Structure 1
Amino acid sequence: MLGNFSYVNPTKLYFGKDALSFLPGELARYGKHVALVYGGGSIKRNGIYDQVMNILKKAGKEVTEISGVMSNPTADKLKEGVQIARKANVDFILAVGGGSCCDYAKALSVSVHYDGDPWDKHFLKMEEPDCEIVPVGCVLTMVGTGSEMNAGSVITNHEQKLKIGHVFGEEVMPRFSILNPEFTMTVPQYQMISGIYDMFNHICEQYFSGDDDNSSDYLAEGLMRSVIHSSRIAVKDPKNYEARSNLMWDATWALNTLIGKGKTQDWMVHMLGQAAGAITNAAHGMTLAAVSLPYYRHILPYGLPKFRRFAVNVWNVQTEGKTDEEIAREGLSAMESWMKELGLVMNLTDLGATEEMIPDIVKATIILNGGYKTLTTEEVEEILKESL
């Protein structure tokens, strides 16, 4: 393990079919005024809303609802929520939904008591909160982002054509998250497979960096094999509890910072995908699927040993009579076959992107260091064109 680091994760998890039964005990720790954050209403159709509301009422909470949180939460929606939360003088924010609701709740938590523009402060200037932070809890209904156990929040500004993520400090992480795999079983297939690729790519972003013998990479390989195995079962049998529970647990550990410790990290697929999402408003996991293979094939020569290891340890590629590059490329081909097997969207064109949009996507792409190669603007454009 290279470098020096500290590790703490203050989020308490309740996992399993009875996880929601622990919500009353957690609610007792917080104030009377609760902001209930949720999306388009699916939790009302599947009964989760009624279950949560009954618990809140029995706990004596005054509930203010902030509904309509979209799959790519916007800066305008954040401002709207701030005004609602301030008027209700909320003491606690409970997000019930997928990663977008959790992301939104965290952005809201650092914005309620901030007098300025939260988009400008936290997402453009990347400044840390310097005001009171409203505590957050999550009841997860869709898996993929890992937002239930990290401090990340991604917000989109359509006017500025930007989609930006901010990883806050541990004080912004959810105080608790409730993970019942059965709650994820009503999610449409498209959203399920989008979430599966999101979690898989989170692991890849941390894995494809560095060349030392790092314990974190062994953990990452195990998680990737688990995602591959369980995803194949879940796609064929979405009600399979074991597969769905494994995927829920995989998603959490894919991005709760553990497997990134002691490593540099490469988040360029997310930068490319988020930029495409800012322009097209497509599902996050699908934008990642569309850009990832062109990106990985582009950087493969610069990180050949790790891509070879990925092929052998994750995809069981046989090595006899092959060069290292042949082995590595066969690994990416195996990954591509799995992605198609799941039914992922494999290009930006099918997500609504056109060649005329490429300049805007390039402009919205933040170029990061940490990977095997730092891209030039010209390379970003080339990769995006290959993704069409």
Structure 2
Amino acid sequence: MSEEAELRDWLVALRTPGLGSAGLRERLAAAQGCIGEVLSQMRRHASALDASAQAWLDEPDKERIAADLAWLAAPGHRLLRYTEADFPPQLETISQPPAALFLSGDASLLLHPQVAIVGARSASTAGKTNARTFARSLALAGFVVTSGLADGIDAAAHEATLDADRPTIAVIGTGPDLVYPRKNRELSSRVEAHGLLVSEFPPGTAARADHFPRRNRIIAGLSLGTLVIEAGLQSGSLITARLAAEHAREVFAVPGSIHNPLARGCHRLIRDGARLVESASEIVESLVPAARALGAELAQRLEQPTVAPGKGTRAASGGWRADPDYQRLLDVLGHDPVALDELVTRTGQVAAVLSSMLLMLELEGCVEGLPGGRYQRLPDA
């Protein structure tokens, strides 16, 4: 089956009314990952489906599918399916993991260690200042800042990360071709150009209230930890924090004045076990072990023989310094800034594997990540 034919089948399945991610994953498992077989089986047993699903499978909207394919054909656009090797493994452990994600931007960022920063849309000036300070510091420490492109805390976190010349990920509650709220259109364009837009929803999908809790589970699932900065007691940010805790991820909260209604959600989180933080360094210290573990898991998933220190035989016999792949990477890095694409050419490794290796070297203090997706070997490495 050609790539376009397979994509077409995936788009038909993703748009099938009532199927959903869980149903699609279940059917794909039974069909040994063949999306064409999934559609064939559903059509053979159409009587078990509701009327809208039957009608769609009998005659999918050709114009809609053609528009989807046209969107995917544009540079930087991709449908990342859970059956692909570079689908983020951290999403596999959440409840109701997505079957596929529509991406616009740098897909490799999904394999970097992420910290979610979320909070009130109607954030105070102080709250947005805190969001910018934390986001900038976390980004410069090597973490990708992930949020939801909403007003207030989300937007401040994205903007500060981009202003620091570091990439950011925005998980949105619309199709990947739409922006909500519309006032963040310019910010969305910046994220797309210098980071990554992520959506579970096909192109053309408008914002709906029930989309945002679904978006929040992906934000929490992608991230090693979630930081909440200003949240009322009814804030959607508390949903993201709850989901993060359910996914066994770290939850951090910034305290505020007892007279500030937007501090009450954070105070509740702290009472319920979230870690009170006053600086980004506390988050970095807490998440470095999880980031190293993620790097090791990614290396194994992508069939990269090198793993993190303490994981596997090569590391146990001498750590990454004894690994020839890491040594070759350091050799080709030199001491001048090099873009990831150039490193792919020099090493012959795929970008996702190199991202995992560079993360390990950055955490070990041997490599520095620079603006523009470049890397530089540090003098003592």
Q: In which range does the TM-score fall when normalised by the shorter chain?
A: under 0.3
Larger RCO (CA within 8 A; separation ≥ 6): 1
Compute the TM-score of the two structures, normalised by the length of structure 2.
0.27
Compute the TM-score of the two structures, normalised by the length of structure 1.
0.26
